[in-house]
Structures are given as C-alpha cells and as structure tokens.
Amino acid sequence: MKQDVKKVTNFRYLLLYFLLYSFVGWLLETCYSFAVLGHFTKRGFLFGPLCPIYGWGAVILVSALKKYKSNSLKLFIYSAIVFSIFEYLAGFALDALFSARWWDYTNDFMNLNGRVSIFYSFAWGIIAILFINHIHPFVEKHVKKILKKIPNAVQIITINSLFIAIISDTIFSCIRYLNIF
C-alpha cells in the first residue's frame, strides 16, 4: 500500500525561517537592550518573542538576494539599498498606523527622518554577507537535519500551527496599538 506523504514546501521552509529568525532577532534585541539599560524591556511589536522585521529580512535575503552569494560587492550594495528602503518603509508604516516608533536614528550621522542612517545601511550590507555566506547555510543544514528526524505530518502541523499563532499575535497586537477595544 502506497502512502500519500506530504513534503514540507518551499513556502513552509520560508515560513519556518521567518519564525526562527524573528525569534533570533527578538533575542538579540532583548540582550542588547538588557546590556545597555541593565534591565529587561519588551522589544518588538508583537506580544510574543518575535521581531518580524528580522524574519522578513531573512526571507528577503534567502529568496531574493542569495543569488549574489558569489559576488560580495553586489550582495553588499543591493542589501544595503534594499534593507534601507525596507527599514524606512517599515518605520514609516508603524509610525503612520500606530503613532509609535520602534527605532529612532535621529541623532545618527546621515539619517533620513530618523528611520534609516548611513551606519545601519552599511551594517545591513555587512550582515547580509555574513548571513548568506555563513549564518544561513549553518542554520539551513541543521534545520534540515532536525526535520529529517520528524515525520512530515508533524512538521506540517507544527509549521501551520506556528503560522496561525503569529497571525493571531499580529491581529491582537494591532488591536492593542490601535486601541480598538
């Protein structure tokens, strides 16, 4: 008897990486904030321990900019430009929708409306090179190794459940910041 085995699709892999890197981003933000302020502060937009801007950044790198892996200069330039635009638009949208700023580079050299600065644009280029050449290949290898040990049905149910959880968290977070109820 032949079994109908569903495989984890590329979309689900991207969703898994989105969640993973959103959590890692939240962890980095939280540790940085703790080191600077000396106490825990709630980081990010969502209730849960995720900073989606990092997850989206990872997905953009993996799906659109990974093709420049062999050309570090192009990867650096395109990443600096793409992530500066992305960071600006995300900052603008959060400010326009919720009248709140989650980051402010107003005091940084060569900033644009406090939403992006030349320093962070440069940093995104460097981080992209490190991410594409070292971090993501390491993570991808270990994620695939772990997933091989988990039945496909469990993988799909888990990823779908996490997707529903982040959608719910996003909805409830928007309601909180919009003061709807």
pTM, 2 dp: 0.88
DSSP 49: S
Rounded to the nearest 10 degrees, the angle between the axes of helix 10-37 and helix 52-60 is: 130
pLDDT digits (tens, 9 = 90+) for 119-155: 999 999 999 999 999 999 999 999 999 999 999 999 9
- pLDDT score of 1: 43
For the chain, the domains span 12-159
Tally of CA atoms within 13 A in the half-sphere of 68 that contains its CB: 18
Residues 78, 128: Cα–Cα separation, whole Å = 9
Kindly indicate the confidence band of residue 181, based on its pLDDT and cuts at 50, 70 and 90: low
Give percent of the chain with pLDDT exceeding 90.
80
